[in-house]
Amino acid sequence: VPDFAKVADAVKAGDVRAAARLMRDLDDQVPGAVEVMKLLYPHTGRAFVLGVTGNPGAGKSTVVDALIEHYRKLDKKVGVVAVDPSSPFSGGAILGDRIRMQRHATDPNVFIRSLATRGHLGGLSRSTAEVVHVLDAMGHDVVIVETVGVGQDEVDVVTQAETAIVVTVPGLGDEIQAIKAGILEIADVLVVNKADREGADRTVRDLVAMLELRGHDAREVEIVRTVATTGKGIDELVHAVDRHRQRNSAAHQSGIPERARRRAEATLREQVVDRLRRAVDDELKKHVDLVDRLAERTTDPYTASDELVRAITTRS
Ligand SMILES: Nc1nc2c(ncn2[C@@H]2O[C@H](COP(=O)(O)OP(=O)(O)O)[C@@H](O)[C@H]2O)c(=O)[nH]1
Ligand SMILES: [Mg+2]
């Protein structure tokens, strides 16, 4: 019989192997893993969770690497969750992330975990939240979540962060127009990376104009130029992040900070949605007859769904 409390204690003590095993068990949906998570949750909420999103190739991993460097100099323990789609077309992405952050791989105060989209279908956001909670409970001061800024799943992932950084690059005038409203909506700090390239000023101007168009106050969403490969601008980026964090906490000195509530709500929603989705899949497998009847038109989707929902709710 696995001793859940013992595993939880090991994770809380920062035991890397225990944490890695727990993350694997969560992936494999080993039932005991949830019991350990229940014990860990009261010990989470201390880490500063920073989201980094943007198009593939924008330099997210390089920015994250520079941020790790910055926080390590301040003697902070840093956890990283790199979420990347592992479609046949971008299968190398995670390998790229690993290479970009390689120099920190041997640092005992840096823990990097890659999550592939594949295998987390629909549950990516929940999986990410769980890994963030484990890293938080381990005592990481900062947890950085890197995710590609496409799709609802990725947007959901970023809403788990206290501060969300959106990384763009110069020379993509049209592409900036194509940045989804949703992505701009979630940006707390905008980064124009690869500022060593032509057109950074124009990109900044375009972003300012877009923010104004959307009614954002320029002081609310700061725009920072970086050259992640050399570390140029990273100090300024961290300052902008700190200022956002301060504004966030200053506004809610009484009671629970809004961002913390939103994060808790998102965590709860993900958990419920994920469980319901799995319950629906399980139940559908058991009701082949119902699907057949629907296909034959001897029942309708409304009556059939009533029946299925009833079956799910009486079961749980
Ligand atoms: N010129 C230049 N190249 C950069 C900069 N930041 C990242 N890169 C390069 O852009 C490529 C993609 O970077 P990566 O961090 O993997 O992007 P990601 O897909 O957004 O994580 C790599 O070859 C980096 O070396 C920068 O500031 N300037
Ligand atoms: Mg990357």
Q: What is the pLDDT along the chain (316 residues), one digit of tens a residue?
A: 569 999 999 999 999 999 999 999 998 889 899 999 999 999 999 999 999 988 888 999 999 999 999 999 999 999 999 887 554 444 445 556 667 777 888 899 999 998 876 555 556 778 888 999 999 999 999 999 998 766 666 667 777 888 999 999 997 655 555 565 567 778 899 999 999 999 999 989 888 888 888 776 656 899 999 999 999 999 999 999 999 998 887 666 667 877 778 788 888 888 898 889 889 999 999 999 999 999 999 999 999 999 999 999 987 6
Return the C-alpha torsion angle 99, 101, 104, 109, nearest 10: -130
Q: Which atom of ligand 1 is nearest to 193's Cα?
A: 27
90 close to ligand 1 (CB < 6 Angstrom): no
- Euclidean distance between the first and the last CA atom of the chain, given in angstroms as a whole number: 25
Q: Which amino acid appears at position 242 of this protein?
A: D
| pLDDT score recorded for residue 6 | 97
Backbone phi and psi for residue 84, each to the nearest 5 degrees, phi listed first: -145, 140
| pLDDT score recorded for residue 117 | 63
Q: What is the pLDDT of residues 187-202, one digit of tens each?
A: 899 999 999 999 999 9
Give the C-alpha separation, 148 to 169, whole Å: 14
113 close to ligand 1 (CB < 6 Angstrom): no
168 close to ligand 1 (CB < 6 Angstrom): no
Q: Whose CA is nearest to atom 13 of ligand 1?
A: 59
225 close to ligand 1 (CB < 6 Angstrom): no
147 close to ligand 1 (CB < 6 Angstrom): no
Q: Which atom of ligand 1 is nearest to 55's Cα?
A: 20
| pLDDT score recorded for residue 85 | 56
Q: Which amino acid appears at position 306 of this protein?
A: D
| pLDDT score recorded for residue 87 | 44
| CA atoms in the 13 A half-sphere facing the CB of 76 | 19
| pLDDT score recorded for residue 181 | 58
Q: How far is the CA of 62 from the centre of ligand 2 (A)?
A: 7
Ligand 1 pocket test: which of 62, 101, 148, 165 has the largest number of ligand atoms within 8 Å of its C-beta? 62
Q: What is the pLDDT of residues 225-244, one digit of tens each?
A: 999 999 999 999 999 999 99
| pLDDT score recorded for residue 37 | 97
Neighbours of 95 (CB within 10 A): 11
pTM of the complete model:
0.88
Q: Of 197, 136, 198, nearest to 161 (Cα)? A: 136
Q: How far is the CA of 170 from the centre of ligand 1 (A)?
A: 12
| pLDDT score recorded for residue 54 | 86
| pLDDT score recorded for residue 171 | 78
194 close to ligand 1 (CB < 6 Angstrom): yes
